[in-house]
Structure 1
């Protein structure tokens, strides 16, 4: 960017020198905006990468178009190409774009958009780009994405030029009709319109393909990145505990899609509209008759342009006043829709329990209340949209006749031709549409801002959860691996999510190679202590030392069985093919699941097909396959009868002889299966502390 800024500055200085010699106001303007662009480009190194792409494009275009303009001005442009020499207004326009990019980089909402969008374009992941007839090339993902964006921006600018050429066709075509000039009529229709219409169609087809490739690859990368950050280091669990981001599934699936589509649409559309504004404004300025203010003799240069500008500005202000509440309403609607989808998914997950309790009526009431919230907000949203649509439709209907009303006296007076009238009306429509972008897109902008807000708060929730993880910058519970044999709680104070203290522990050792049973009343913090030792509980402070290089596995009371085959459920979280059939069969036989060995590759919802006891035994089979150094069982056999529970513990002790086992349980029969005992004792302040006890002391 710094090198480009020097090139821009050099061209601007040359333009200022040439303007002094030629007296050309256009070249002078080219030099002045070039100086401002050079400063903006030099400072662009500090703006987000997504905005740098646009800044670099406009800086490069200024140098190329400006050089062509100066060559034409001093007579170095080839005479045969004089008709296509770039005017000074073209380079000036792209310079204005570059300056605007730098200025909008300070707008908070633009900063949020760029912060979300930039990582994809900075990605260094290698990938194979299939460029069709040009072959396949290996390049960085970010490089490929930047190349696509540059191509699409240049293509959009070319499409504005095509539209401008067709606008001049309408002028000449209509003049030929008025003059009954058949040769010119057919010349314009065949050699001008057909050629440029075909070019326009081809350009839009190319744009569709390039745009689709960019968006699907961007979405694929963004979904994978959010999944990685959300699932990494137990962040998903801490976010759900803290409640800092509701419905993360919707944010990853729906909000990312909406963000990408609308970011592309608004970025490219804004560039196209500004290009259209500048290009077609020249037509309005060049009307071959002096236009006076209605009812007076005052002549204002470019009156049609200024009238369009004031008209659109007033309408934009009114639109903002009417539509401002839409942003909050769109955000709320997305939240309520996501809550309803979650309620339906939860009902499906617990369908057996609901059926056993005959809870269908209660579920219908709950679903009705949840959807009622959607309906209530929908009507508020509808009423606001009706107000906005009433204004925008009325505004757009008035746009059709305004240029004709302003120019009709001059046409009927014979001062302008019919072709000029239709050309100016068309140009007025294009300029007015460009100026009215904010008006016509307000509802989409409101939805876009809601998606940005949801993704921003999701990223903040992930960052906070990541910082709270064990070893993170914001973690208050320090879990450190040390070259020790036992796991030791040096100091530990745990709270519930609402801030209520629940556990106070200090100088507690969990002996290696032994089986330790932890007992205590329900609600005394036993499971919370397990979660803290696993590094996923964020609410508390303290220091824990764990043996270096040892693997830990926690079996909760309710195991998780992923969708897919039974083999995948047994191997989870490893890949399904990590263990051989013989290993899996042996593990299943040992935990009394031999009747399922023939269904290993059957895909089903195993969390619903297997009983609670079968699910717990499947989780134990996982442990036998994984062979952890430390195995924590959080009431992991509570669904088994006492005899089967004893047999399962015997299998664990026999098959994992080197493993250190820590169990939570309430049955007295568990004591015979363990070597050590820890009891949760209640303190005067209502918290509980784990204390090592002998089996005799615990009674």
Structure 2
């Protein structure tokens, strides 16, 4: 595990995450892990081919409608059916491969943490050690799941968006042609203006979204900590039920749980406020990204420079390129949740690494621990 890197820097966070969970990709299971990852990448490429095919199909459909060529519709319907079946096959295969990879990674990290926690007396020494490592059971059961599942989801979505951007950047560049722009009385030919507009549109949207959603990471981390405190409080009542009943301490425990759940409500409300700002911006941004390209291309269609099919193809290509460039906006909440869970699991791992093993305790001469349960079975 990497030490000495500030958790507040991106490079330090990546190194710490690699030290925490990267062994899954280089350990004994790598011979089965890497083929799954390669299959996931190939299926992601196949997923990207679907919107590209639909973009070409849309152009031909609207050109046929503009020309009143109804005889082409049966062929267009058959092509759409083929794309549909292809998309179903790719989607199902992709889901199966992705979930196998996610659960395999979760199982590996769970075994590692449980092995470090329930060994050499660390489970006994951990509660008295200072630091951010409360509720180890919740961190192993829930945060490990979030860390591994969302790592695969985010990696897939980022790869998909990069491939989508490359595919539709080429289409936009081709459809843009060369547009003359007057600069100081001189006509300057500008190639690929639609691609440049898409890049500028997405850059402005991403910058604004990051400014709007900056508190979301802190809100997500705070909420997860409060949720874990409430789960721990409930587990404490369950484990000490007999003592609570003998001492008639139900009212006190109900009050304590109410206070903990009040913290859950505050965490929920804080995250809701941050999400409202992000969602309001996202809703506005999605509408603008649908309207803007049509308004940009409509004058060329009205002038007869492009067909109706080319106008619709251009608008769709612009939307797909902007959607690919908008990955940071679309995944802000997911990245915030994943980052918070990584920090919680990393805090537990560092605390366990810092505990020296307790001296061995001499096993009893008889009993469950000494004979593997034979004593109990003899009764």
Residue 571 of structure 1 is matched in structure 2 by 368
CA positional deviation for 1:580: 7.2
Structure 1 position 110 matched with structure 2 position 20: no
Structure 1 position 333 matched with structure 2 position 252: no
Aligned residues: 368
Structure 1 position 357 matched with structure 2 position 154: no
Distance in 2 between residues matched to 1:573 and 1:378, nearest whole Å: 48
Q: Superposition pairs for residues 49-64 of structure 1, below 5 Å?
A: none
Q: Superposition pairs for residues 142-541 of structure 1, below 5 Å?
A: 142-190=30-78, 192-244=79-131, 245-287=133-175, 289-291=177-179, 299-465=189-355, 468-469=356-357, 534=359
CA positional deviation for 1:581: 4.0
Whether the 8 Å contact between 1:112 and 1:452 is mirrored in structure 2 is no
Whether the 8 Å contact between 2:25 and 2:34 is mirrored in structure 1 is yes
Q: Would you tell me which structure has more strand in proportion to its own residues?
A: 1
The 1:413/1:289 distance shift into structure 2, 3 A limit, reads farther
Distance in 1 between residues matched to 2:249 and 2:143, nearest whole Å: 33
Query: Can you list the C-alpha shifts for 1:203-240, whole angstroms capped at 9, x where unaligned?
Result: 11111111222222222222112111111211222221
The 1:573/1:390 distance shift into structure 2, 3 A limit, reads farther
Distance in 2 between residues matched to 1:439 and 1:164, nearest whole Å: 23
Unaligned runs of at least 5 residues, structure 1: 1-47, 49-105, 125-140, 471-533, 536-550, 556-568, 586-699
CA positional deviation for 1:554: 7.7
Q: Would you tell me which structure has more helix in proportion to its own residues?
A: 2
Aligned Cα root-mean-square deviation (Å):
2.5
Distance in 1 between residues matched to 2:81 and 2:217, nearest whole Å: 44
Give the 3-state SS of the residue equivalent to 1:300 in structure 2.
Answer: strand
The 1:446/1:312 distance shift into structure 2, 3 A limit, reads same
Distance in 1 between residues matched to 2:377 and 2:87, nearest whole Å: 61
CA positional deviation for 1:197: 2.2
Distance in 2 between residues matched to 1:299 and 1:435, nearest whole Å: 26
CA positional deviation for 1:267: 0.7
Distance in 2 between residues matched to 1:294 and 1:340, nearest whole Å: 65
Whether the 8 Å contact between 2:168 and 2:321 is mirrored in structure 1 is yes
Point out which structure has higher relative CO (alpha carbons under 8 A, 6+ apart). Answer: 2
The 1:394/1:333 distance shift into structure 2, 3 A limit, reads same
Whether the 8 Å contact between 1:403 and 1:425 is mirrored in structure 2 is yes
CA positional deviation for 1:342: 1.1
Unaligned runs of at least 5 residues, structure 2: 3-9
CA positional deviation for 1:414: 1.1
Residue 661 of structure 1 is matched in structure 2 by none
Structure 1 position 553 matched with structure 2 position 363: yes
Give the 3-state SS of the residue equivalent to 2:363 in structure 1.
Answer: strand
Query: Can you list the C-alpha shifts for 1:488-545, whole angstroms capped at 9, x where unaligned?
Result: xxxxxxxxxxxxxxxxxxxxxxxxxxxxxxxxxxxxxxxxxxxxxx46xxxxxxxxxx
CA positional deviation for 1:176: 1.1
TM-score, reference length from structure 1? 0.50
The 1:342/1:579 distance shift into structure 2, 3 A limit, reads same
The structure with the largest alpha-carbon Rg is 1
Query: Can you list the C-alpha shifts for 1:586-623, whole angstroms capped at 9, x where unaligned?
Result: xxxxxxxxxxxxxxxxxxxxxxxxxxxxxxxxxxxxxx
Distance in 2 between residues matched to 1:288 and 1:317, nearest whole Å: 25
Query: Can you list the C-alpha shifts for 1:92-125, whole angstroms capped at 9, x where unaligned?
Result: xxxxxxxxxxxxxx8333333333332112222x
